[in-house]
Amino acid sequence: MRIYQDCQVNPRVLVWGGNERAWRLAKVISGQQPVIWAFSRKPPYPATQFSGQTAWGKDLAYVRGKAGRFTVGLHGSAIEEIEVGGIIIVPDPAGPVLSGLPPGEVAGCSILFVLMGVTRRVYTQAFSQIISLAAKNRVWVITDDVQVGFANGEALYSTARARGAVFIRTDRVPLIGTAAGAPDRFEARVLDTGIGREITLPYDILVAPRWEHTDDGLRYHELLGLGEDNLDSYPGRTNREGIWVFPDPEGVLTAAEEEVIIAAIAAQVARMATGRVRAEKYYEIDADRCAFCLTCFRLCPHQAVEFHRDKLFQNLYREACRIDTLSCRGCGLCYAECPAQAIKKVVDKPAPTRIPHVLACENAAAGLIHGQGLNYELRLFPCAASIGENVILRTLSESNRDVYVVACYQGKCQHEHQNRRLQVRVRRLNTLLDRLGITLRVKLLGLSAAEHPEELATKVGERK
């Protein structure tokens, strides 16, 4: 059984970014719900094809609130506040861009492209240039790797070669300079691994990628309180509930992949379009027991906890923490860490019939969920975060045998490294047990969803 709550949300979405992706994303979203497309400078894309609101020349100052009801401060001449339900940040991919491309029509020249260690994005850009320039010029391409792994890549490569462009593969960066005795002529010396010797290529125009950090995606991450770890999260999932950051900081995505992400994010915000969203309710704070210690507020990995004032509260402060259903992802960290035990599960699973001695994060132990027939009782938790010291000790005391706690491997936790938090709990408990002369121990296991029940059985020392 699950409990859902209808939450009121603001259907309007803020798309923040001055690049083509932002434009395409804003266009898609404007077809389904109100959207504000904004950025610190006016982007060079025709706003005529976009039907929502725009706001240029302002910087992001702050974001307050939670998923469904954000207040965003924009810095202009004065701070202006806008209310939105969701925020999508579209940073410019920081990465190499081609520079040195001649403007306008060029004919009868020798043009040298140097494409070393660059991404597919640069290749897409380069191929179209190579093809058009090769019609009336001599074109060489020095590269460490011809990349064709994007839409139409093979065809573009063949066309470029058919037009006479010569691709020279090498793993060494070419030596570029003026020709000996002729300071107005340029040439590149390069080891051609195809023929196994160094060749010299005179050229008139050099086109090479220049590394460019065009946008400050990282700064936005700081501003929004997002972890750097989430910089490249997978399509359509939010970094902090209600805030999406377009992945692909290095610009390796192909146009087709980009479309998929745009569609995924648009579909995610679409659920806000009616102004109401059903969200699952996992945990609830009993305000009368809340000591207002701020533990949950400080620790929640999804920033779902907020302050709530109510003169009917029985506690000392007439104010307590409250979990915002829309933002809460149900990890249970607050539940495990609340020192007042004021946080309750909304739906409690029936108590296991046998006393368990394996307490596992269900993301880590997905492969074990149907652990029937195994020689132990497994109790599943939404995340390692919710396997608190108390439940471990209670289990230890009731089962009177060693208890295994199972978390995801380092870096795999969906709620910001809760495996590490579990690790320190286990360490503390084992020290206490040892000092009290209790021989029972808590054992921490790393597991991944792909593993089989047998593997846990082996680790726990109980083969079937």
| Alpha helices per DSSP H over 250-311 | 255-270, 295-299
What's the CA gap between 22 and 381, in Å, rounded? 38
Using the rule CB under 8 A, is 437 a contact of other proteins? yes
Least distance (Å) from other proteins to the CB of residue 296?
11
282 binds, among other proteins, ligand SF4, none (CB under 5 to 8 A by kind): ligand SF4
Q: Nearer to other proteins by C-beta: 280 or 389?
A: 389
Shortest distance (Å) from residue 441 CB to other proteins:
12
Tell whether residue 388 is a contact of other proteins (CB under 8 A). Answer: yes
CA distances from 61 to 80, 90, 224, 225, 397 (A): 9, 16, 10, 13, 52
Tell me how far apart the alpha carbons of residues 408 and 382 are, in angstroms, rounded to a whole number.
11
When the beta carbons of 55 and 340 are compared against other proteins, the nearer one is 340
Cβ atoms of residues 88 and 38 within 8 Å: no
Residue type, 414: Q
Q: Does 355 bind other proteins (CB under 8 A)?
A: no
State the residues that interact with ligand SF4 by CB under 6 A.
282-283, 285, 290-296, 300, 302, 304-305, 320-321, 323, 328-334, 338, 340, 342-343
- The SS3 call for residue 320 is strand
Give the phi and the psi of residue 448 in degrees, each rounded to 5: -125, 160
Q: Would you state the structure tokens that stand for residue 142, as one six-digit string?
A: 């020095």
The item of ligand SF4, other proteins, none sharing an interface with residue 161, based on CB under 5 to 8 Å by kind, is: none
Provide CB contacts within 8 A for 394, sequence distance 6+.
none
Binding of other proteins at residue 340 (CB under 8 A)?
yes
User: In one letter, which amino acid is 208?
Assistant: A
Q: Which is nearer to other proteins, 272 or 338 (by Cβ)?
A: 338
Indicate the residue among 302 and 379 with the shorter CB distance to ligand SF4.
Answer: 302
Binds other proteins (CB under 8 A): choice among 397, 410, 452, 454: 397
| Residue 359 C-beta: closest distance to other proteins, Å | 14
Of 133, 141, 132, nearest to 112 by C-alpha is 141
Please state the closest distance from residue 404 (CB atom) to ligand SF4, in A. Answer: 23
Pick the closer one to ligand SF4 by CB: 338 or 368: 338
Closest CA to 270 of 32, 30, 436: 32
Shortest distance, position 111 Cβ to other proteins, whole Å: 58
Q: How far is the CB of 304 from ligand SF4 (least distance, A)?
A: 4
Smallest distance from other proteins to CB 438, Å: 5
Q: Are 13 and 33 in contact (CB under 8 A)?
A: yes
To ligand SF4, the closest distance from the beta carbon of 271 in angstroms equals 19
433 near other proteins (CB under 8 A)? yes
Helices and strands, counts by H and E, the chain: 10, 26
339 lines the binding site for other proteins (CB under 8 A) = yes
Q: How far apart are CA 94 and CA 219, in angstroms?
A: 13
Residue in 84, 224, 338, 385 binding other proteins, rule: CB under 8 A: 338
Task: Please choose which of ligand SF4, other proteins, none residue 344 contacts, taking the beta carbon within 5 to 8 angstroms, the exact cut-off set by kind.
Answer: none
Nearer to ligand SF4, 28 or 300 (CB): 300
d(CA 241, CA 7): 14
- Rounded to whole angstroms, how far apart are CA atoms 155 and 160? 9
Question: Helix, strand or coil for residue 72?
Answer: strand
Among ligand SF4, other proteins, none, what does residue 438 contact (CB within 5–8 Å per kind)? other proteins
Q: Which does 396 bind (CB under 5 to 8 A by kind): other proteins, ligand SF4, none?
A: other proteins
Nearer to ligand SF4 (CB atom), residue 138 or residue 302: 302
> Considering the rule CB under 8 A, would residue 225 count as an interface residue with other proteins?
no
Shortest distance in whole angstroms from residue 271 CB to other proteins: 33
Name the binder of 148 from other proteins, ligand SF4, none, CB < 5-8 A by kind: none
Q: CA 408, CA 81: separation in Å to the nearest integer?
A: 41
- Does residue 440 bind other proteins (CB under 8 A)? yes
Rounded CA separation 39/54 (Å): 9
Q: Which own/partner pairs from 155-160 qualify as long-range (CB within 8 Å, at least 24 positions apart)?
A: 156/127, 156/128, 156/131, 157/127, 159/131, 160/127, 160/130, 160/131, 160/134
**Minimum Å distance from CB 122 to other proteins?**
43
Q: Give the one residue of 197, 354, 435, 464 binding other proteins; rule: CB under 8 A.
A: 435
DSSP string, 157-181: HHHHHHTT-EEEE-SSPPEEEEETT
Residue 323 contacts which entry, ligand SF4, other proteins, none (Cβ below 5-8 A, type-dependent): ligand SF4
Q: Residue numbers of the site for other proteins (CB under 8 A)? A: 289, 291, 293, 295, 298-299, 315-316, 338-341, 388-390, 393-394, 396-397, 432-433, 435-438, 440
